[in-house]
């Protein structure tokens, strides 16, 4: 996949990470990409009353790091003949150290297994959700025990043009990134590609209420005009990505379009289930340019409902609140 140069695969020796590891190795081997396996461990303390920087503390830290490296090597050993693999250990809060590794080494894709099989039902304060909120590069959270390859990919875009003018350029760039990555992944995985845009006509419910008394034909004309507007915007987006990737790529991937009426937080999880989606590709930032970024409410609601792997993408220019480690 030409979108990436350096993959960071996060592994936890205490959990089943084979799905993420196999995904990372296959992608790195097939596309000649750099691959680093990262383990994040807690700081080791010497015990009550013992100085944290003393010789005993340093010896414990060194022993723990070597033990963790040995476990990472057990993960890497079966694949050494397929791809060059680097190992890295960091200590601290997991999502913060993952992002610091990305910032320090310029990784452009993080692959990680979900924290547990019930991850999607966890509270949004989990390390994985914080990683999705704050990581500046795409994050691929792989569902445990998922298939070795993607059979069906769902790319969620938003082509509405009624956002504030300052957001439109960033949202459009994000849509292009979602489609480019999804097409590239579909090519690499020989997967079926679906693209979804969810639309709704603002004010339709009020117009159908008793107070406004809007004639039915006027309501229908308005609703149809909104649907047609978004359909044209989606066509323009596909034309632009075709110009960028080439007709041969688009003809091969042959994305199937879904223009669904409703609310994204409800319709995207529903469609993902109906299609038996393996991987959902989506943007995760709500308001563009707001200090102290958090993920948009719609994205968080979608992520709390889906039961498949997800690739979360930030718009160009996203700045994480996590700072590099001080030397």
Q: Is the pLDDT of residue 225 over 90?
A: yes
Is residue 190 within 8 A of residue 258, CB to CB? The reply is no
Query: For residue 138, how far is the Cα from the chain centroid?
Result: 5
Q: Is the pLDDT of residue 134 over 80?
A: yes
% of the chain exceeding 90 in pLDDT:
57
Neighbours of 267 (CB within 10 A): 20
In the chain, alpha helices (H): 18-31, 55-76, 94-105, 127-134, 165-189, 204-208, 216-245, 247-253, 264-274, 297-303
Q: Which of 225, 247, 229 is nearest to 238 (CA)?
A: 247
- The residue-averaged pLDDT of 37-57 equals 67
Query: What pLDDT does 59 receive?
Result: 79
Range of 48-62, 163-177, 254-268 with top mean pLDDT: 254-268
Give 243's pLDDT tier (boundaries 50, 70, 90).
Answer: very high
Q: Confirm whether 1-145 and 149-327 share one CATH topology.
A: yes
pTM score above 0.85 = yes
Q: Is the pLDDT of residue 102 over 50?
A: yes
Q: Which of 77, 97, 23 is nearest to 278 (CA)?
A: 23
Query: What pLDDT does 124 receive?
Result: 38
* Average pLDDT across the chain, whole number: 86
- The residue-averaged pLDDT of 299-307 equals 83
Q: Which of 301, 311, 243, 249 is nearest to 277 (CA)?
A: 311
- In the numeric block, which tokens belong to residue 286? 């709500």
Between 116 and 179, name the one with better pLDDT.
179
Q: Is the pLDDT of residue 292 over 90?
A: no
CATH number of 149-327: 3.40.50.620
Query: What pLDDT does 56 receive?
Result: 56
Give 288's pLDDT tier (boundaries 50, 70, 90).
Answer: very low
Domain ranges of the chain: 1-145, 149-327
Q: What angle do CA 305, 299, 245 make, to 5 degrees?
A: 110
Q: Is the pLDDT of residue 204 over 90?
A: no
Q: Is the pLDDT of residue 79 over 90?
A: yes
Q: Please state the CATH superfamily assignment of the domain spanning residues 1-145 in this structure.
A: HUPs (3.40.50.620)
- In the numeric block, which tokens belong to residue 161? 């043009």
Dist CA 153 CA 255 (whole Å): 10
Q: Is the pLDDT of residue 27 over 60?
A: yes
Query: What pLDDT does 127 receive?
Result: 80
Give 167's pLDDT tier (boundaries 50, 70, 90).
Answer: confident
Q: Which of 60, 58, 70, 62 is nearest to 11 (CA)?
A: 70
């Amino acid at each position: 996949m030409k979108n990436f140069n350096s993959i960071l695969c996060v592994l936890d020796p205490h959990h089943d990470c084979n799905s993420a590891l196999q995904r990372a190795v296959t992608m790195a081997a097939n596309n000649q990409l750099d691959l680093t396996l990262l383990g994040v461990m807690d700081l080791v303390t010497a015990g009550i009353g013992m100085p944290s920087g003393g010789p005993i503390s340093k010896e414990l830290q060194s022993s723990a790091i070597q033990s963790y490296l040995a476990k990472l090597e057990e993960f890497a050993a079966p694949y050494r003949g397929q791809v060059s693999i680097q190992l890295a250990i960091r200590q601290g809060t997991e999502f913060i150290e993952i992002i610091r590794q990305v910032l320090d080494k310029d990784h452009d894709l993080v692959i990680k297994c979900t924290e547990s099989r019930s991850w999607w039902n966890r509270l949004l304060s989990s390390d994985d959700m914080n990683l999705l909120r704050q990581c500046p590069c795409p994050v691929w959270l792989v569902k445990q025990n998922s298939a070795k390859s993607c059979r069906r990919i769902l790319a969620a875009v938003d082509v509405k043009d009624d956002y504030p003018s300052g957001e439109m350029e960033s949202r459009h760039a994000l849509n292009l990134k979602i489609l480019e990555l999804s097409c590239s992944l579909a090519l690499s995985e020989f997967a079926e590609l679906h693209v979804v845009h969810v639309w709704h006509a603002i004010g339709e419910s009020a117009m159908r209420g008793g107070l406004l008394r809007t004639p039915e034909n006027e309501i229908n004309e308005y609703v149809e005009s909104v649907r047609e507007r978004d359909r044209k915007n989606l066509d323009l987006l596909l034309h632009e990505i075709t110009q960028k990737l080439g007709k041969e790529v688009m003809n091969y991937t042959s994305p199937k379009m879904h223009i669904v009426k409703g609310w994204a937080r409800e319709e995207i999880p529903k469609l993902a289930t109906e299609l038996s989606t393996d991987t959902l590709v989506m943007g995760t930032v709500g308001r563009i340019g707001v200090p102290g970024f958090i993920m948009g409410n719609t994205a968080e609601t979608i992520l709390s409902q889906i039961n498949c792997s997800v690739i979360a993408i930030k718009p160009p220019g996203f700045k994480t609140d996590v700072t590099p480690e001080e030397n």
